[in-house]
């Protein structure tokens, strides 16, 4: 069976070279005589894998030593609770900026534990942009300010981070982590589910500043306390060992590609291929305002639902799969994470061109 170009929003394409490497060492890892899946998480060989993954991520994202790197479980949805449970510690109040369904869900979960102030929302234009707001819209007494850096469903992205002064900025970077350089020191906490740019579903990366630990609400389940995991180096309980190993191989691959700056350059080229075509097309139309476009998720529509369906079917025939857009946006969405080769995007654009020519 030939591999397809998989435009899924997540879980999504993984680097082919890493898949091949993981396949080769699947049954026997190095000289351990066993699969990584079979290793005790307390063994030296696994602890080496864990430390290497942490240290490579620290290098890739330029993470200072006063930030802990945690490998947890439960995905972004668990972070929606962990963030307020651990960080709504002083005034039980937080600012949320609503740029899509996931930010909304995060705000809803937080509102169960304290006061949530919605600073701004782009719901009224179906989240086709990052909403405007001024610094004075932020609460002075918020325990943190929460944003979603890249909005998987709607295809928007924060190009500049809000200035929150001394108030910790919390970011959900699930769909853009390691796709572009960011200044981690602007954040108090950043998290990402693995299943888009990092590895298999089931690992959540949390990067949290040291001074934010230790103030969890009384009733916080032990497993949802950041300080417990930080103190135990993500080994409080059995972590998702294979996912951590695979992610580590992805980090090594990224370093070999030249790191995040190089990957960002490639991602910009890939996205430009699509956006340039959309900007000149008479048939296809991007759904996001130009200044807020995502590098990772590119939604676009055709003039009728019939044409959308026809294009999706044609794409599938041509080995370009999972292009169907989210039901709240409709049409198509091309998720072009780090692992999507430029050839995949070029093949998609070529097909769009052909489709446009035959439908003039």
Size of interface with a copy of itself, in residues (CB under 8 A)? 69
Nearest approach in angstroms of CB 220 to a copy of itself is 9
Q: Which is nearer to a copy of itself, 41 or 285 (CB)?
A: 41
Site string for a copy of itself, 308-337 (x = CB under 8 A): -----------x-xx---------------
Burial 36-52 (b: 16+ CB within 10 A, else e): beebebeeeebeebbeb
Q: What is the DSSP string of 125-139?
A: GTT-SPPP--GGGS-
d(CA 205, CA 189): 11
Q: Which stretch binds a copy of itself (CB under 8 A): 26-34, 55-63, 184-192, 288-296?
A: 26-34
d(CA 177, CA 296): 10
Q: Which stretch binds a copy of itself (CB under 8 A): 49-57, 128-136, 199-207, 273-281?
A: 199-207
Reply yes or no on whether 253 is catalytic.
no
Say which DSSP state 67 is in: E
What is the distance, to the nearest Å, from the Cα of residue 86 to the centroid of all Cα atoms in its chain? 21
Contacts for 11 with CB less than 8 Å, ≥ 6 apart: 195, 196, 200, 201
Q: Which of 55, 59, 73, 257 binds a copy of itself (CB under 8 A)?
A: 73
Site string for a copy of itself, 107-126 (x = CB under 8 A): --x--xx-------------
Backbone angles phi, psi at 301, to 5 degrees: -135, 160
Site membership for a copy of itself, residue 202 (CB under 8 A): yes
Active-site residue, selected from the candidate residues 196, 270, 292, 324? 196
Q: What is the DSSP string of 183-245?
A: -GGG-SEEEEETTTTTSSTT-EEEEEEGGG-S---TT--GGG-HHHHHHTTT-SS---HHHHH
Write out the catalytic residue numbers: 102, 172, 196
Using CB under 8 A, list all residues that contact a copy of itself. Answer: 1-4, 6, 8-14, 16, 19-20, 22-23, 26-28, 30-35, 37-41, 43, 73-78, 80-82, 85, 109, 112-113, 193, 195, 199-203, 219, 221-224, 236-243, 246, 319, 321-322
């Amino acid at each position: 069976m030939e591999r397809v170009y998989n435009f899924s929003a997540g879980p999504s394409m993984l680097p082919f070279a890493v898949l091949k490497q993981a396949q080769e060492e699947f049954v026997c890892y190095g000289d351990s005589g066993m699969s990584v899946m079979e290793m005790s998480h307390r063994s030296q060989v696994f602890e080496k894998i864990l430390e290497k993954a942490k240290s490579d991520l620290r290098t890739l994202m330029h993470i200072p030593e006063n930030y802990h790197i945690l490998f947890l479980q439960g995905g972004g949805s668990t972070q929606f609770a962990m963030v307020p449970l651990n960080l709504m510690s002083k005034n039980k109040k937080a600012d949320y900026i609503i740029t899509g369904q996931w930010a909304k869900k995060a705000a809803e979960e937080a509102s169960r534990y304290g006061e949530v102030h919605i600073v701004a929302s782009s719901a009224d234009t179906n989240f086709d942009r990052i909403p405007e707001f001024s610094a004075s819209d932020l609460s002075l007494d918020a325990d943190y300010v929460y944003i979603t850096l890249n909005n998987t469903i709607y295809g928007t992205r924060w190009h500049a981070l809000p200035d929150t002064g001394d108030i910790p900025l919390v970011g959900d970077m699930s769909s853009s982590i390691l796709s572009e350089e960011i200044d981690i020191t602007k954040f108090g906490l950043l998290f990402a589910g693995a299943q888009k740019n990092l590895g298999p579903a089931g690992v959540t990366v949390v990067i949290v500043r040291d001074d934010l630990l230790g103030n969890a609400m009384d009733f916080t389940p032990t497993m949802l306390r950041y300080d417990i995991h930080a103190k135990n180096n993500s080994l409080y309980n059995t972590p998702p060992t294979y996912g951590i190993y695979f992610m580590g191989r992805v980090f090594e691959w990224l370093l070999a590609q030249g790191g995040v700056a190089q990957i960002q350059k490639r991602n910009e080229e890939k996205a430009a291929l699509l956006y340039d075509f959309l900007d000149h097309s008479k048939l296809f139309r991007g759904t996001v305002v130009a200044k807020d476009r995502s590098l990772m998720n590119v939604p676009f529509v055709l003039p009728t639902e019939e044409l959308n369906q026809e294009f999706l079917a044609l794409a599938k025939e041509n080995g370009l799969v999972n292009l169907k857009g989210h039901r709240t946006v409709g049409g198509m969405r091309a998720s072009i994470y780090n692992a999507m080769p430029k050839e995949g995007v070029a093949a998609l654009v070529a097909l769009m061109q052909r489709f446009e020519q035959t439908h003039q």
